[in-house]
Amino acid sequence: MTFVTLGRSGLKVSRACLGTMTFGNTEWGTDDAESRRIVDAFVDAGHNFIDTADVYNAGASEEIVGRAIADKRSDVVLATKGYNVMGGGPNDRGSSRAHLTRALEASLRRLGTDYVDLYQLHSWDHDTPIEESMATLDGFVRSGKVRYIGCSNFYGSQLVEAQWAADRLGTTPLVSLQPQYSLIWRDIELDILPTATRHGMAVIVWSPLGGGMLTGKYTKSAGDPVEGRLTRGSDIHAEGMRMLTLTDRNFEIVAEVDKLAAELGTTTTAVSLAWLMGRPGVTSVIIGPRTIDQLSQNLAGFDLTLPAESAKRLSKVSRPPVSYPWYMQLRL
């Protein structure tokens, strides 16, 4: 098993990270018993990194994860996140000292632990000075309730602002970033990924299979749509994700992945994850299996090393469109 350090820290994490967003979702997610089996199988396979968030299924994910790791807490690197709406009050969201303090205490109760290894800002808060957020996170570290701090879904400029704030205040810097990244979503390569790398941050990527697109389950053929993450929901966000994801370009990428998988005698899922594992700057990849079978399919990608020419084929077909000023400094 290969372990890597979490950014500029001494903490060792597995390259596979178990994402638990489906845990506790009663409509299309994973129930308590199957969640426990997934966690046990993941850890038994030698991996140690588990990620959740307070907002996942209104806290149910944290509760399930807490129960599942209760007898193996010291063997697990546990990450959670705060920021999102957790109530009806004006201070029940965001990265203010008031909200984050309550959010962390609530997460610790649900997780049944007195500390988390990695506490992350789930998004940038435009209403709170970053100095306040970073000072609050530093207080968590000094209290022993949090070991390391990170963020998710930040722009490159926001990463710089956060690290500068920590430097000015003499407080704990961010050690990690959790962004979206896959063969169909390579936007972070233009600015966010290089910025994180320059600041020595670990990059823990989410949605490595493009919401299921890179499993090959979605096709352009007529007929009833396949049940999956991209076909659920009828709100504006869900419709927007379908419009952005189910495109001709992305179907061309999936076709090339499928072709390569057949040549290598493996699956589109494994090929997609293996390509991502080989990308510069990537520390760990978050997988979000809903079943034990999906966990096995996902973990196969961490045992696959793509031939250099195969990786180049996928990089070429998935090369994203580039606008100004990035095309002036193109390194894709």
The answer to whether the bond into 325 is cis (omega within 30° of 0) is yes
- Residue 56 a catalytic site member: yes
Q: Where would I find the beta strands (DSSP E) of the chain? A: 3-5, 12-14, 16-19, 49-51, 77-82, 116-121, 146-152, 176-178, 202-205, 284-287
Alpha-carbon gap, residue 161 to 218, rounded angstroms: 39
Buried b (16+ CB within 10 A) or exposed e, 20-59: bbbbbbeeebbeeebbbebbebbbeeebbbbbbbbbbbeb
Q: Which residue has the tokens 């307070």?
A: 54
Residue among 11, 10, 92, 13 nearest 284 (CA): 13
Q: Residue 203 in 3-state DSSP? A: strand
Exposure of 235 by Cβ count < 10 A (0-12 exposed, 13-18 middle, 19+ buried)? Answer: exposed
Provide the sign of the torsion angle of the four alpha carbons 91, 25, 37, 6, taken in this order: negative
Q: Residue 28 in 3-state DSSP? A: coil
Residue among 209, 94, 101, 211 nearest 145 (CA): 101
Q: Which two tokens stand for residue 10?
A: 């001494």
Instruction: Count Cα atoms within 13 angstroms, Cβ side, for 241.
Output: 15
The one catalytic residue among 56, 119, 181, 218 = 56
Q: What residues are annotated to the active site? A: 56
